C-alpha cells in the first residue's frame, strides 16, 4: 500500500504522541497500531528528524548541577573553538544576538570573556507540541497577551529546582546517564555488555528517571532543519504565563532559569520571526512584534533573543 506524504506525517505525529507519554514503549505496541510498516515509520520519523529523542537531562541537584554561561566575546569564532576543548564543557553554541556564546559546563570554569549572565540552571521544563499551524499558534498567543490580567494570574511554579538537595549517584549512574542522554531507547543488552553493568542496576536507574531526570521527546512538523533555533531571555514576574504562551508553538520548546532570568529555547518557522516580505504587515504574525507587546504590557521587564548558529555537544 502506498501512503501519501500527509498520511506519513500523520503517522509520525502518532508516534510522537506515543513516545511523549511512554519513551521506551515496546515496538510491538507500534506494530499493533501500524502493522508491518511500524519499523519503517519509526526509523523515518527519527532519521528525518520529525522526532528528536526521547532524551534525558539531569535535574538540578546540588551534587550534579550544571553551570551555564552567556558570554560576549571580542572574537566569537576563536572563543567558540577555545571552549569546545574544555573537558568540563558538555554543550556550547555560538550565537548571533544578545550573546555570542552559550556554554553548559559540569562545573564552574575559567572565563576570559565578558559574562552576561552565569549560574546554575534549574530543571528543564519541556512543552508538548500542539497539533496546529503556525498561524493558529500566533493567533492564540496574541489573544492570550490581549486578555492577560495580572490580578487573576496564578503562579503554578512550572520551573522547579533542587539546589538544596543531593541524590545518590555513583560511577555506573554516570555511565548510564551518558549512555541514555541523547537516546533513551538505546539497547539494554549493549550497555550491559559494553559497560559490564547488571540488569538490576539498569532497571533501577530507569525506574528512578522521573526523580532524577527530565525526560522528553521533541517534535518538528516540517523536520528539525526547517526551523531556526532561538534562545529568548526574559525578566518577568509571570514566568508561567510566558511558558504557556510559547507552548502554543507547534514545535517543542524547552524552558529553564538561571538566576532571575527565564530562558526559552524554541525552534521557529522563518516567516514568523524573519521579515522576508516588505509588503506583508507583520503586526500579528511576527514573534518579535509579540515580544514588544509583552514589554509594552509590562508582562516582561526585559527581553532579548539570539539565534543559534553552530553548536557542539559531548556525550560525557
Mean pLDDT over residues 189-217, rounded?
92
What is the per-residue pLDDT for 314? 53
DSSP state of 162: B
What is the per-residue pLDDT for 193? 87
Whether the Cβ atoms of residue 51 and residue 12 lie closer than 8 Å to each other = yes
Instruction: Looking at the structure, tell me whether residues 27 and 157 fall in a common domain.
Output: no
pLDDT at position 231 over 80: yes
What is the per-residue pLDDT for 4? 84
Instruction: Looking at the structure, tell me whether residues 37 and 131 fall in a common domain.
Output: no
Q: Is 188 exposed, middle or buried (0-12, 13-18, 19+ CB in 10 A)?
A: middle
Whether the Cβ atoms of residue 258 and residue 120 lie closer than 8 Å to each other = yes
Instruction: Looking at the structure, tell me whether residues 36 and 79 fall in a common domain.
Output: no
Instruction: Looking at the structure, tell me whether residues 197 and 229 fall in a common domain.
Output: yes
Its domain, for residue 88, covers: 67-120
Instruction: Looking at the structure, tell me whether residues 107 and 154 fall in a common domain.
Output: no
pTM: 0.90
Query: Quick one: cell of 167?
Result: 541524590
Rounded CA-CA distance 135/250 in Å is 10
Asked, for residue 42, whether it belongs to a domain, the answer is yes
Asked, for residue 262, whether it belongs to a domain, the answer is yes
Residue ending a domain, among 76, 92, 120, is 120
- Taken in order 176, 182, 187, 193, the sign of the CA dihedral is negative
Asked, for residue 313, whether it belongs to a domain, the answer is no
Whether the Cβ atoms of residue 219 and residue 195 lie closer than 8 Å to each other = no
DSSP state of 47: H
Mean pLDDT over residues 277-286, rounded?
56
pLDDT at position 68 over 50: yes
Instruction: Looking at the structure, tell me whether residues 56 and 26 fall in a common domain.
Output: no
Residue labelled with grid coordinates 508538548: 128
pLDDT at position 206 over 60: yes
For 169-185, how does the pLDDT look when each residue is reduced to its tens digit (9 = 90+)?
A: 999 999 999 999 999 99
Instruction: Looking at the structure, tell me whether residues 114 and 196 fall in a common domain.
Output: no
Residue ending a domain, among 103, 120, 137, is 120
CA atoms within 13 A on the CB side of 265: 12
pLDDT at position 278 over 50: no
Asked, for residue 203, whether it belongs to a domain, the answer is yes
Asked, for residue 314, whether it belongs to a domain, the answer is no
Which one is predicted more confidently, 274 or 289?
289
pLDDT at position 245 over 90: yes
| Helices assigned H by DSSP within the chain | 5-21, 27-34, 38-47, 76-83, 134-146, 171-180, 188-195, 199-212, 239-246, 287-296
Instruction: Looking at the structure, tell me whether residues 128 and 42 fall in a common domain.
Output: no
Q: Please choose, from the candidates 19, 45, 3, 21, the residue with its C-alpha nearest in 3D space to the C-alpha of residue 220.
A: 45
The percentage of the chain sitting over the pLDDT mark of 70, rounded to a whole number, equals 94
pLDDT at position 298 over 60: yes
Whether the Cβ atoms of residue 104 and residue 66 lie closer than 8 Å to each other = yes
For 252-269, how does the pLDDT look when each residue is reduced to its tens digit (9 = 90+)?
A: 999 999 999 999 999 999
Instruction: Looking at the structure, tell me whether residues 39 and 87 fall in a common domain.
Output: no
pLDDT at position 275 over 70: no
Residue labelled with grid coordinates 566569537: 76
Mean pLDDT over residues 234-252, rounded?
96
Instruction: Looking at the structure, tell me whether residues 180 and 264 fall in a common domain.
Output: yes
Asked, for residue 224, whether it belongs to a domain, the answer is yes
Q: How many domains does the chain have?
A: 3
Instruction: Looking at the structure, tell me whether residues 15 and 159 fall in a common domain.
Output: no
For 37-54, how does the pLDDT look when each residue is reduced to its tens digit (9 = 90+)?
A: 888 888 999 999 999 989
Asked, for residue 162, whether it belongs to a domain, the answer is yes
Query: Quick one: cell of 197?
Result: 553493568
What is the per-residue pLDDT for 279? 43
Asked, for residue 22, whether it belongs to a domain, the answer is yes
What is the per-residue pLDDT for 284? 64
Instruction: Looking at the structure, tell me whether residues 106 and 246 fall in a common domain.
Output: no
For 86-145, how does the pLDDT look when each residue is reduced to its tens digit (9 = 90+)?
A: 888 888 899 999 999 999 999 898 888 899 999 999 999 999 999 999 999 999 999 999
Residue ending a domain, among 79, 94, 120, is 120
Amino acid at each position: 500500500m502506498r501512503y501519501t506524504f500527509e498520511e506519513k506525517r500523520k503517522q509520525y505525529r502518532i508516534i510522537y504522541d506515543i513516545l511523549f507519554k511512554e519513551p521506551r514503549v515496546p515496538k510491538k505496541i507500534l506494530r499493533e497500531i501500524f502493522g508491518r510498516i511500524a519499523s519503517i515509520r519509526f526509523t523515518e520519523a527519527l532519521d528525518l528528524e520529525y522526532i528528536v529523542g526521547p532524551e534525558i537531562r539531569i535535574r538540578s541537584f546540588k551534587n550534579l548541577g550544571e553551570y551555564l554561561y552567556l558570554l560576549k566575546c571580542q572574537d566569537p569564532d576563536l572563543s567558540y573553538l577555545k571552549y569546545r576543548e574544555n573537558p568540563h564543557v558538555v554543550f556550547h553554541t555560538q550565537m548571533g544576538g544578545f550573546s555570542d556564546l552559550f556554554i553548559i559546563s559540569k562545573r564552574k570554569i575559567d572565563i576570559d570573556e565578558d559574562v552576561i549572565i552565569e549560574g546554575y540552571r534549574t530543571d528543564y521544563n519541556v512543552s508538548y507540541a500542539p497539533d496546529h499551524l503556525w498561524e493558529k499558534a500566533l493567533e492564540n498567543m496574541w489573544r492570550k497577551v490581549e486578555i492577560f490580567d495580572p490580578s487573576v494570574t496564578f503562579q503554578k511554579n512550572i520551573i522547579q529546582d533542587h539546589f538544596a538537595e543531593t541524590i545518590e549517584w555513583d560511577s555506573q549512574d554516570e555511565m548510564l546517564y551518558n549512555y541514555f542522554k541523547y537516546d533513551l531507547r538505546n539497547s539494554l543488552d549493549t550497555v550491559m555488555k559494553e559497560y559490564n553493568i547488571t540488569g538490576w542496576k539498569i532497571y533501577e536507574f530507569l525506574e528512578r528517571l522521573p526523580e532524577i531526570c527530565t525526560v522528553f521527546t521533541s517534535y518538528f512538523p516540517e523536520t528539525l532543519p526547517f526551523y531556526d533555533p532561538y534562545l529568548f531571555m526574559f525578566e518577568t514576574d509571570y514566568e508561567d504565563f510566558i511558558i504557556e504562551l510559547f507552548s502554543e508553538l507547534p514545535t517543542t520548546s524547552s524552558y529553564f532559569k538561571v538566576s532571575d532570568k527565564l530562558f526559552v529555547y524554541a525552534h521557529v518557522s522563518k516567516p514568523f520571526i524573519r521579515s522576508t516580505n516588505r509588503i506583508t504587515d507583520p503586526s500579528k504574525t511576527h514573534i518579535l512584534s509579540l515580544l514588544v507587546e509583552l514589554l509594552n504590557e509590562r508582562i516582561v521587564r526585559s527581553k532579548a533573543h539570539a539565534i543559534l548558529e553552530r553548536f557542539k555537544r559531548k556525550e560525557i
